[in-house]
Amino acid sequence: MMGYLKGKSSQIIFERWANARFKYRNRSFWARGYYVDTVGKNTKKIAEYIQNQLKEDREYDQLSMDFEDPFKDYTIEKKRVNKRTKR
């Protein structure tokens, strides 16, 4: 069930905001796993889980490189070609 929700929601986000796909370079939009519990019962455990996820996300972001378009500043110079040939 969670896999379906995460998959469909990421598809909708990428459809509505196409630039997000370039930002995330076709990586997974959501974290790998998920945590389910009742709110209020284990508040401390939930807070620890969120902090751990934030730490893992920061570590993963340090390993990945941001995509930069290699042709961003590239311009093609048009050279004038003389149609007459010298003989």
| Contact (CB, 8 A) for 67 and 22 | yes
**For 84, which DSSP code?**
S
Distance CA 6, CA 86 (A): 67
Longest CA–CA separation in the chain, Å: 92
49 is catalytic: yes
- CA distances to 36, 43, 61 from 48, rounded to whole Å, are 13, 9, 20
Q: Which of 34, 49, 60, 74 is catalytic?
A: 49
Q: Which residues are catalytic?
A: 49
